Homo-oligomer: A and B are copies of this chain.
Amino acid sequence: MANGAQKERVSGSLTAGSLTARLQAAVRERGQRWTEQRQLIVDVLAASDGHATGAELVERVRQDDPSATPSTVYRTLDLLEELGLARHHHGPDGRETYHLEETTEHGHLHCRGCGAEQELDAAAAAPILKAITGATGFSADLDHLSLQGLCATCRADQKG
């Protein structure tokens, strides 16, 4: 348990061009290696705008390189998270969903009535995070925050 490897931030704001060079440097600095697989996986993740599950990413990677295997893709996703380039949250079923760090930090709300998914940006989340800290002392990760409940519409429908 407890915390794994330290995170070293790779980037401030990422432009597609400098991304590879920066990542490559960060990886080498850790005594690790930059490979074609890793490059490809980063490219696929960058092209998958918004959110993508592990299985979806595996499928897209294999379209470009059929020799790639799930284990490599998942291990690379872990590496990218350690470097702070990728993040994940969990869908209502618990499955991990990945996105690039360039997206602004946000949480997710899933309505169990209509299935709608709403994003929660930092501004909207601020009072919520503050309430959490006030009630519990915890500082919650907005990136990882994923709530289930009923949206305003479904709540009104239910009453009627």
Query: What is the CA–CA distance of A150 and B151 in the complex, to the nearest angstrom?
Result: 28
Collect the chain B residues with CB atoms within 8 Å of residue A127's CB.
Answer: 131, 134-135
Binary interface encoding of chain A residues 105-130 relative to chain B, with 1 for a CB under 8 A from any of its CBs, else 0: 00001011111001010001101101
**Residues from chain B with Cβ under 8 Å of A94 in the complex:** 90, 93-96
Q: Does A21 contact B (CB under 8 A)?
A: no
State in angstroms the CA–CA spacing of A125 and B2 once bound together.
25
Does A14 reach chain B (CB closer than 8 Å)? no
Q: Does A138 lie at the interface of the complex (its beta carbon under 8 Å from any beta carbon of B)?
A: yes
Considering only residues 123-160 of chain A, those with a C-beta below 8 Å from chain B are 124-125, 127-128, 130-132, 134-141, 144-145, 147-152, 155
Q: Can you give 23 contacting A-B residue pairs, CB < 8 Å?
A: A2-B114, A2-B115, A93-B94, A94-B96, A109-B140, A118-B138, A120-B135, A125-B135, A128-B131, A132-B149, A137-B151, A137-B152, A138-B147, A138-B149, A139-B149, A139-B155, A141-B147, A141-B148, A141-B149, A141-B150, A144-B147, A144-B149, A145-B147
Further 16 A-B residue pairs, CB within 8 A, beyond A127-B135, A139-B155, A145-B148: A2-B114, A2-B115, A112-B141, A120-B135, A124-B136, A128-B135, A130-B131, A131-B131, A132-B147, A138-B149, A139-B150, A140-B149, A141-B148, A141-B149, A141-B150, A144-B147
Residues of A in contact with B (beta carbons under 8 Å apart): 1-3, 90, 93-96, 109, 111-115, 118, 120, 124-125, 127-128, 130-132, 134-141, 144-145, 147-152, 155
